[in-house]
Structure 1
């Protein structure tokens, strides 16, 4: 393997938690196609590239001509928002009487995370996270943090109605999951947004959209926006969790996990019952929470393994529902085989709650087809060779998660959810 190719593999691995892009590799490509995928990973905005390689492709030599040209290839320039477009955004923000900041996954980088905090503090902005967020791009205990926007158009419009200017970085406008007959925005609200996805810009039903790197734009806006002496946003307090049980509430389980994890912990979340209360978890640094953007089940278990492999210096905790676990249980074999130290927390409620909620909305006749009791979560995991445990108390769960911060192999704990 040429030294340059090895360096690009390392660059791609360093970018492992920045996002996912897809690069199909045709049969005729050979190793040169793989280098193209790695170059894509190393291009702004940086991100993982999935290489689809035919099984026998690695046994064939790369085309010398194509390989040589690729290794000599160079690109100048970066997809950034023009300054005149950002000037319009900053001007609207400076003139606003009640502005707000909305963040999405595109802002969850080292630079974007820090710039979002700087902008929020400089302009004293209330900060919301865009609906159905696959990341956590702002510290959840910051004085400006207001929470996660709901996933229905009318509900989002109701919250944003208290502001006159809303600036959004790194999120579509907006991703809705629940049906709504209400308008997208109420009168008097202006929205400015920065996205690195031209398709998202084309789909947006409102707003003035800039296409470019959201983190780069955040850094530039934070440096030029006017400082404000307006009152700080209202303090956000978390409601007290009901800690009785077992079984336990989602809020109590999240609090117990939060007490056991470290600030460096990366969370792979595929526990839909906890979606709207996920920010009970303390997030203090970027790239600390990952959630399937499209909402499809089966992502969380293998994603947790990949996150730990891609970022071995940070502990990983996977929060998974008992139903979601069943889609990709074979990933546990890989975790055991390669001794990937992930702590899997499986929250068992014996019901397919996501579909249960939608069956009510869609008026599906009642039945027992969403009952998934008797799965034997611990038996399944034990069969793959994991160390397993059932937490009988919240303190027990906290202790188990805390021990996982220094574990050397995969482990799984089950806790019953109300």
Structure 2
């Protein structure tokens, strides 16, 4: 960036693509690393935390940033691909500085940090934070933004960044990452400190937190759930996919399981208990109890309306299951499956019972993981029905759950390792 270029607010850098000189994208900005300095000197911007396509997070020094322009960061051609590890003297801007309560030096009034701006020093390849965008008034919450005058002040006009933050909010951090997919937000949470992770989790709404928990490593799931009030923990478990919630419950002590189950809706608790009764790595243990179930007299139009539900995963929306009443699992007699592509080829008034695929054998709830994987590979399926001896549909196994259990247990934490510490991003 040329000397004299305008300041950049850090919220505008969240998720920005990072390119090498040839124009190839190498990753995205996930945070900024600064070093606080003594006295009133503004913090020095040391570099960027960049997430590669492999989800490995690396440190990109500002000395290797040649330009920040038009929503993109341009780097020199060589990156150090060692995993980023925060040092004691470093602070993460998104993870630790946003949402802090600091004090205006002139008036002694407490304000909340909403954003920070950085600029490049003239005639040097050094960057620093120069201004702070704050809001006066009381703290907001995850559901209500605080009201009050917003203003931009010089870094020297506030104090409190060097103190350990107690009860730090998460409003601005969540706004910064609101467009992230659950898996990417889970990756952000995984790299925060336990204290900050708990604060952000507490600020997420139940559905968003449920989606994120499903993407986190087991240890993080247990840690976050343990820091929620029990009533809220039960609500979040109810919002999770039943199979994922049952897996998480199964990792808790028995007395904790029972307390949480007692706080759930009876129907949800019954689903949890049923799923937990099956052995791990079997169809019964992997299945979700909430597939799309239709009665024989439902039409193609009815089926397509159910498939359009945006809360369904692509795998669950790929087919519907036709059963006699009752139409909640465990259902009446299972009649067959209708695939999404078949629904698209039939007139809307067509009854689903007239187009079911009844030739494909469903999975037994005790089928083991190799048998399930073989079923998916043989028939090119993304979801499969699980039916008991009485012919009732118990649920459906989706291909993502099969992959979750076939990969190493720590696959969410395992990063792609390269043989060389230094690589050229141009492929050389």
TM-score between the two structures when normalised by the length of structure 1: 0.28
TM-score between the two structures when normalised by the length of structure 2: 0.28
Instruction: Give the number of the structure with larger relative contact order, counting CA–CA contacts within 8 Å between residues 6 or more apart.
Output: 1
Normalized per residue, which structure has more strand? 2
Q: Based on CA coordinates, which of the two structures has the bigger radius of gyration?
A: 2
